[in-house]
Amino acid sequence: MPETPLSRITSLDALKAATMACRECPIGEFATQSVIGEGKLKARLMLVGEQPGDQEDLAGHPFIGPAGKLLARALAAAGIPQEQTYVSNAVKHFKYELRGKRRIHKSPSQREISACQHWLEDEIALVKPAALVALGASAARSLIGRAVPVMVNRGQWLPRPDGREVLVTLHPSALLRVDAEDREPAFEAFVADLRQAQRLFAR
């Protein structure tokens, strides 16, 4: 993981303003706005996804669409109090391709994830979470600093260069694409992954 230069970002408002103005990769030009994370400062757990989706881009809030609702349900099932978490994304602008009038999610490239990584590091420095969850491969790459095969490492804690642990699992949007008959077992497996973080909230 490259060393982050000394940052002048000292608040989430400053992070929002700086990412709004950022054009360090091509994604920012075409999005409505940047979307940074929300939740509790000094959270026991910070969950990091890939990038804002269509609804998040329009509203300016993370995880408010179908994947966010599924994540909320899974956190509740895993016994993790959502109000004690912080949720964000590895990439702060929405990348998409137009199909007619529809904006279809497009995965950020490795270069784009790397370009946005210093903003995520600023956010982690502000939030000061005890531990993190990587939701999918893009988040795992950004948080851990190398490619992580998610299906091999799901449900496991991997160390970050800063010493914090990262629990690896799927992005909830992957569960939305599962065939109907496989959806319940896939959800249960996702909850089982998240349950690995439940100990952080034990009294």
- Residue ranges binding ligand SF4 (CB under 6 A): 19, 22-25, 27-28, 34, 91-93, 112, 115-116, 119
Nearest distance from C-beta of residue 44 to ligand SF4, angstroms: 26
Report helix, strand or coil for 188: helix
Q: What's the CA gap between 119 and 142, in Å, rounded?
A: 11
Nearest distance from C-beta of residue 72 to ligand SF4, angstroms: 25
Sign of CA dihedral 39, 133, 48, 116: positive
Alpha-carbon radius of gyration of the chain: 16
Nearer to ligand SF4, 26 or 185 (CB): 26
Report helix, strand or coil for 131: strand
Nearest distance from C-beta of residue 56 to ligand SF4, angstroms: 13
Locus of tokens 């809030």: 61
Q: For residue 135, which amino acid is it? A: L
The string of DSSP letters for 155-187 reads: T-EEE-TTS-EEEEE--HHHHHTS-GGGHHHHH
Region of residue 18 (left: phi > 0; alpha: psi -120 to 50; beta: else): alpha
Nearer to ligand SF4, 26 or 81 (CB): 26
Nearest distance from C-beta of residue 48 to ligand SF4, angstroms: 14
Nearest distance from C-beta of residue 175 to ligand SF4, angstroms: 25
